[in-house]
Amino acid sequence: MVNDFDLLTTLSNRDFVCGFSEAVKVSLLKDPALFCQLCENSTAIRARDMDVAGPVIRASAKLHLDHITMGGDPFEMLEARPLDFGHWSAHKLETVSDFSLRHGEAVAIGVAIDSVYSALELGLDESVTQQILQCLTDLGFSLSDPSLGNVEGLFDGLEEFRQHLGGRLTLTMLTRPGQPINVHTVNREKMLAAIEHVQHFARTQGSFLSDRD
Ligand SMILES: [Zn+2]
């Protein structure tokens, strides 16, 4: 378990924040109360207040660990891999950006995209979606990146993800916090709209890396 918080103090601000996109992800899948905690404390976490960040890190690590050890599928033999929420695009964004995006930064964008897609296609509440995007932004993530301009490349990521799963495409989306759902097809138009929405959000929020147009 993550108990050695001394290690965390040696991280750069960028690397410190990076881990929290996975915390947002796992809280949305499994622990709505933790998601609220993240939303309420995003600014303090970004400022590295360990009294606030510490419990969130512990809770997030426990959720990841419990999933692996008690999820009944430790070797990921089942087609659904809920912890991959937001990751089909994240993996692709990392490579398209030539790894100028760290994994955690790409996951923040990926979670934002799949959350908006979930709102457009699966009825995830729009105010919750807004909260997710705001929380990620307040934590210090930029939800825009030049690599998002390569939409075709991004969609190649879907195909690669399908192959990685060994056949049928299975993506985890969200109907509400704590309630993931598996989907096997993607509505391309709505996914494009989701990507655009996330970029628009990033631009209008004045997020720190998004001032490129
Ligand atoms: Zn990840």
pTM of the prediction? 0.89
In the chain, % helix, strand, coil (3-state, to 5) comes to 65, 5, 30
**Is pLDDT at 211 greater than 50 in this prediction?**
no
Cα 109 to ligand 1 centroid, rounded to whole Å: 12
Residue 210 has pLDDT above 80, yes or no: no
Query: 127: which residues sit within 8 A by CB, 6+ positions away?
Result: none
> Which of the two residues, 69 and 117, has the higher pLDDT score?
117
What distance in angstroms lies between residue 85's CA and the mean position of ligand 1's atoms? 9
Give the pair of three-digit tokens for residue 39. 């939303």
Calculated CA dihedral for residues 168, 172, 174, 175, nearest 10 degrees: 40
Q: Rounded mean pLDDT of 134-142?
A: 96
Q: Give residue 103 CA to ligand 1 midpoint distance, Å.
A: 7
Question: What is the DSSP annotation of 88-149?
Answer: HHHHHHHHHTTT-S-HHHHHHHHHHHHHHHHHHHH---HHHHHHHHHHHHHHT--S--GGGG
Task: Tell how far the Cα of 107 is from the centroid of ligand 1, in angstroms.
Answer: 6
Residue 6's pLDDT is what? 78
Q: 19 alpha carbon to ligand 1 midpoint, in Å? A: 9
- Provide the pLDDT for residue 77: 52
Task: Tell me the CA–centroid distance for residue 122 and ligand 1, in Å.
Answer: 23
What pLDDT sits at residue 4?
Answer: 66
What is residue 1's predicted lDDT score, i.e. its pLDDT? 47
Q: How far is the CA of 28 from the centre of ligand 1 (A)?
A: 14
Question: 18-75: per-residue pLDDT in tens?
Answer: 999 999 999 999 999 999 999 999 999 999 999 999 999 999 999 988 887 776 555 5
Please tell me what DSSP assigns to residue 84. Answer: G
